[in-house]
Each structure stands twice: as structure tokens, then as C-alpha cells.
Amino acid sequence: MLLTSLASDDSNAADIADAVRIDNTVLSRSQLSGASAGVLEDLGGATRVAVLATPTAQTVLAVTGCLLAGVPVVPVPADVGVAERQHMLRDSGAQAWLGERPDDPAGLPHFSARSGSQQPHAVASCDDEDTALIIYTSGTTGPPKGVQLSRRALAADLDALAQAWQWSPDDVLVHGLPMYHVHGLVLGLVGSLRQGNRFVHTGKPTPEAYAAARGTLYFGVPTVWSRVVADPGAAAALRSARMLVSGSAALPVPVFDALVERTGHAPIERYGSTESLITLSTRVDGERRPGWVGVPLQGVQTKLVADDGSPVPHDGESIGRLAVRGPTLFNGYLNRPDATADAFDGDGWYRTGDVAVIDAQGMHRIVGRESVDLIKTGGFRVGAGEIETALLGHPAVAEVAVVGLPDDDLGQRIVAFVVASPAEPAQPGELIDYVAQQLSIHKRPREVRIVDALPRNAMGKVLKKALLT
């Protein structure tokens, strides 16, 4: 059973009165388990159900009830545009809204998420390969694609993370992230329901809310941790935690170092995608190296390949295209056999679209997306992330994004978009020289542009494609 902590035949499991705290609401394990009955009564036989994935008790009950009842869930972001939402509903074939609904429900019937009148054990039998979630990826070259995640993949990934992080029912997991992505929904909510730990959603991931939650295990994206280290009181409050986890974007090395200094914790960094779930992580009992995302989780294999398909050496320097294989992979894109075929090679390796380096100990460093972070300049292959890390070491740089722009001579020229630190003015020429001193000369930016802010999505990832125009 995917949600093992809610298994109705576990007579020895004591009910947890505050299994989930969200949106000023407390839900017990009995209430969560009983949500399956409401789904079976209202939506029994449904093939797919849309959930407006707001951080509310309705979302928690809807997702939990559907997973227990064997009804696939389509999480829909609350802030998505009308056209994109209609695409998700049409493409997924969702038959109803469960929980909250948008102002424009697109003609679908709506049901509130609730505990039904049947006993909680009245749940549907499910096969491990059945689809549990259909999560839509942001469409960079077309409409969003529906990623089909099986119950088997979710269970395998969450169990592998539990092993790497020593995640247990004694933990109190805290985050304030969106509930429609893998980070907030799968790891945060579903992971807690599988492990049996208490889960606290703070609404917004503010330093004050994190400090007040008094958790043992915290999830955050880099912007969250940047704000935490800027708040001495909040950072000190997290010293009592067991572990801090950063993901969804690269954690700047200065933020890593500041977390160590101000919270006493070297953060866990991990890597994954909607299609693969989490595949790499540093371990609670292993090395936590700034800028590196760890080793493959249990059951996961990785490899680096060159442009011609040949293997790339694991020397900690050579850049290659990252491919992964293992039990956490998705079951293809819904209604897109062409895109699914393109995502895998003939041996079942998933092409992540990311470029990385691996050292002799198996530690991975993600350079970035092949499309925007691998810069081919003057005959050299340069990773944008390495330059960004170097620039963040300069006191005048608060944020930075490095891209390759077309250049008639070099092929691509390295351009850095810099948000200056308020404490010190940033001088483009000085920053270019600084990188040339820190790294090989060919890795220096040819141009530095000072900007007020970098374009980011809801998870804090920089939208580099917006910088290429």
C-alpha cells in the first residue's frame, strides 16, 4: 500500500491527532484514512480527478482520499492561466473537481473532499503500476505534458529517501512550498503519509513560520534558505532540527556556508525531476559537499554520455549529458508517445536534459540544463553553474544567472546577469576580472549586465529562457 501509515489493517498503529497541520486546520490520521470513503461514495469508478492544489485541508483530504481509493489525481496549480488549466483538464480527461475549484470550473462537476460514511478500510485494491498522479510539467517548447507517476515509482522513491535521510515516524516535517510539484506534494505530503511522521505546512515559507513550527525535518528551495540565513533569530531556531533539505534549484555555496554557520546544519542537497522523482541525494551519514547533489539513491543508476554517445569519465571535471535508470521513473507522458520515446534510449535510460559531472567517489554536480547551461564558447564546453558559483563569492553579487548568447566569433559568448548586493556596488569590469582570476580565462564572462531582479518561477528556479531573448 502506498500510504502505509494509513493502512486500515494496522491495528497496532495509534491514531495521530495532528497528523497534518495546514491552513489553520488540524487533521488526524483517522480523518485522513476516512477520506477514501468519501471519494468512493462520490467518485467511485472515476478514472481521473482534478484537484486545485492549494495549501489547504481540502487539498490534503482530496489527494489522500484519491490515493487510498485508487483514483488518479491531476494536481492543478491555483495560479495557472485559464488556457493552460483548460489544456490540463482536456488532456488528462479529468472527470470532476475534488476539494476546491477555480472560478471557471470548465463545466466539470465539483465535490468537496470529506470523510464518508463507510469504514476507512473500504478502499479499492490497486496494482503497483497503476497511475497515482499526473503532474504537468511547464511547457518550454509547447503545452505542458502530463507526467504519469505510478504507485510503484512513488513508493520506491520515498523509501529510498527514507533510507538515505533516516526519515522516520518520529520526524515532524515542515515546509511552506506549493502543493502541486514533486517537492511539496510528493515528498512533503505523500512522503509523510508513507513514513507516518507529522506534517506541517506553514502556508508561506517565511523564516518566521519555519522557526515557529519547531520541526525536525525542513524542506526549502534556495530562496527560502537565503531568507532564513538573513534572519538571525529564525536561523538560530532551526538549530534544534535534525536536518535541512534544499532542492528544486541549485543552492548557492555562500548560502550553504551561511546555513552551516547560523543553524549548525550542513544542508542535504538532492536532485531529481517530475519524470524521475528524486534520484540523487547527499546522505545524512555521508559527505555534504557544497554545490554537489550526492550519490544515486538505492536502486538508481546514472551515467554521463558525450555528444557522440560515448561514456564521459568520472573525474569530477568532464561534463556530460546525464541519464538515469531505476524504479523511480515515470510511465511516460500522457497522450504523447512521441515525447515518451524521445525521453528514453533503447536501453531504458531516461535522458534528463541536464548536464553534470561525476567524481571518482560517485558524487554528482549538476551543471544545469543542456539547453541553457551548457555553453559552447570558442571551442570549449563551459558549465554556467561553475561561473555562477564563482561570482556569488564576490561581495558585490547578491544573485546571478549566466547564459550563452549567440556570438559570430565564439559561437556563444558568456553573459552574466547580476543582481548587485545592496552593501556594495557591482562594477562589470571588476566582476569579469574576478572570474578570470578564480577560473580558467576562457570561463570569464564577456559581458556582465546589472539587473534589478532575475525572472523566477514559483519554486524559485531562474527562468533562463527569458534571459535569452
**pLDDT averaged over 10-residue windows placed end to end, the chain, 469 residues:** 70 74 95 90 91 97 95 93 91 96 90 74 74 85 88 98 97 96 96 97 97 97 93 97 93 92 98 97 96 96 94 94 97 96 95 95 91 83 85 90 90 93 88 91 93 82 84
Predicted model pTM: 0.87
Query: What's residue 381's pLDDT?
Result: 79
Query: What's residue 12's pLDDT?
Result: 43
Polymer length of the chain: 469
Residue 107's domain is classified under what CATH number? 3.40.50.12780
Which of 188, 211, 244 represents a domain boundary (last residue)?
Answer: 188
Query: What's residue 458's pLDDT?
Result: 65
Task: Confirm whether 212 is domain-assigned.
Answer: no
Task: Confirm whether 230 is domain-assigned.
Answer: no
Give 97-121 as a DSSP string: EESS--S--TT--EE-----SS-TT
Which residue segment(s) compose the domain that 159 sits in?
4-188
SS3 of 166-222: CCCCCCEEEECCCCCCHHHHHHHHHHHHHHCCEEEECCCCCHHHHHHHCCCEEEECH
Task: Confirm whether 165 is domain-assigned.
Answer: yes
Task: Confirm whether 31 is domain-assigned.
Answer: yes
What is the dihedral sign for C-alpha 7, 13, 18, 21? negative
Which of 133, 159, 188 represents a domain boundary (last residue)?
Answer: 188
Return d(Cα 294, Cα 439) in angstroms, integer: 23
Judge residue 193's burial from the number of C-beta atoms within 10 Å of its C-beta, 0-12 exposed, 13-18 middle, 19 or more buried: buried
Return d(Cα 44, Cα 253) in angstroms, integer: 49
Task: Confirm whether 96 is domain-assigned.
Answer: yes
CA 154 to the chain's CA centroid? 14
SS3 296: strand
Contact 207, 29 (CB under 8 A): no
Return d(Cα 130, Cα 333) in angstroms, integer: 14
Q: Which of 193, 191, 172, 170 is nearest to 29 (CA)?
A: 193
Query: What's residue 384's pLDDT?
Result: 87
Task: Confirm whether 456 is domain-assigned.
Answer: yes
Q: How many domains does the chain have?
A: 2
Q: Which of 78, 248, 254 is nearest to 175 (CA)?
A: 248
Q: What angle do CA 397, 403, 409 make, to 5 degrees?
A: 120
Query: What stretch of H or E contains 281?
Result: strand 277-281
Query: What's residue 11's pLDDT?
Result: 41
Which of 164, 188, 212 represents a domain boundary (last residue)?
Answer: 188
**275: which 3 cell numbers?**
519524470
Task: Confirm whether 285 is domain-assigned.
Answer: no
Query: What stretch of H or E contains 229?
Result: helix 222-229
Task: Confirm whether 311 is domain-assigned.
Answer: no
Residue 422's domain is classified under what CATH number? 3.30.300.30
Return d(Cα 47, Cα 229) in angstroms, integer: 45
Query: What's residue 119's pLDDT?
Result: 52
Return d(Cα 210, Cα 220) in angstroms, integer: 10
Give 397-412 as a DSSP string: EEEEEEEEEEETTTEE
